Amino acid sequence: MSLHAPRALPSTTRRVPALLRSCHPEPAVAVTVLITALAVAAGRGAAGSAAVAAAVLAGQLSVGWCNDAVDARRDTISGRCDKPVATGELPPRAAATAAGTALGLCVPLSLLSGVAAGVAHLGMVAMGWAYNLVLKHTVFSPLPYAVAFGSLPAFVTLGLPSPSWPAWWAVAAGALLGVGAHLVNALPDIEDDLGTGVRGLPQRLGRETCRWLAPCVMLTAVGVLIAGPPGAVGGLSEALAALAGAVAIAGTAVPSGVRSRWPFRAAIVVAGIAVAQLVLRGSDIA
């Protein structure tokens, strides 16, 4: 009886785990879940909410893979062990191909919600690509985050059976949350970014300023969501605001010089609390 060596897995199969880790899974899943919940609360229905989820996930995957493909050289220089492209597990071309494929899928998936809603979402995705390719190196680096997150309520409301623009407070809160997410996402890597030539707004402000500015921006978003909608403020909204404050402060109170992803995770939690407030007032955002 002869022994045969096990067949090697095809290269594409071996790359799947690396691709999944390279797509920035935490923010991709978080944004998808949060916006889908908002779509359900706003009345998009099962089919409409599923279309929102598919489009948002495709868009987030495209932006995440684009980021790793564009930053391959910088991440390698910085020794980013959490980036498969930087460690050599995933060729930059594979990440770029995945980004292009996800972007191609995002177009028809976005248009399932209608032309106006689809254009709003594709504009948000375009902002993510603009950040990766150009704006992250400039003082305007928060702009794509503000526009993208501020556009998400429009993607939901413009796809309703009776399309309408979202309420001002939903757009303002989304934009503020986007800026806050940008600040805390940059926190752990400010020194590495400066060493490789990235001088966006967080890098120019410095770690200490961003560490305290980020929770202020996110808590302002929570305040807008409390004060903006019509009607009296309920006890649940007040409790959520208090919880958001505690999470924001704890998440960004990382000692200076410590590399940590917890500030970004705290931002995701605060964004979740903000969306929970939006969900409570889902019928009011249109």
What CA–CA distance (Å, rounded) separates 185 from 80?
15
Q: Please answer whether residues 181 and 213 qualify as being in contact, where contact means their C-beta atoms are separated by less than 8 angstroms.
A: no
- Whether 247 is in a domain gets the answer yes
How many domains, in total, are found in the chain? 1
**What would you report as the CA-atom Rg of the chain, rounded to the nearest whole angstrom?**
20
Q: Please answer whether residues 276 and 194 qualify as being in contact, where contact means their C-beta atoms are separated by less than 8 angstroms.
A: no
- Whether 5 is in a domain gets the answer no
- Whether 1 is in a domain gets the answer no
Dmax over Cα atoms in the chain, in whole Å? 80
Q: CA angle, 56 as apex, 225 and 249 as ends, to 5°?
A: 40
Q: Please answer whether residues 77 and 2 qualify as being in contact, where contact means their C-beta atoms are separated by less than 8 angstroms.
A: no
Specify the CATH number for the domain of residue 43: 1.10.600
- Whether 228 is in a domain gets the answer yes
Question: Domain of 58?
Answer: 12-284
Helices (H) and strands (E) in the chain, counts: 14, 0
- Whether 6 is in a domain gets the answer no
Q: Please answer whether residues 263 and 214 qualify as being in contact, where contact means their C-beta atoms are separated by less than 8 angstroms.
A: yes
* pLDDT tens digits along 90-123: 899 999 999 999 999 999 999 999 999 999 999 9
- Whether 64 is in a domain gets the answer yes
pTM score: 0.84
User: pLDDT digit of tens for each residue in the chain (286 aa)?
Assistant: 445 544 444 455 668 888 999 988 988 998 899 899 889 988 899 999 999 999 999 999 999 999 999 998 888 888 888 888 888 888 999 999 999 999 999 999 999 999 999 999 999 999 999 999 999 999 999 999 999 999 989 999 999 999 999 999 999 998 998 998 898 888 878 888 888 888 999 999 998 888 888 888 888 888 888 888 877 667 777 788 888 888 877 776 666 555 566 766 777 787 778 777 877 776 678 7
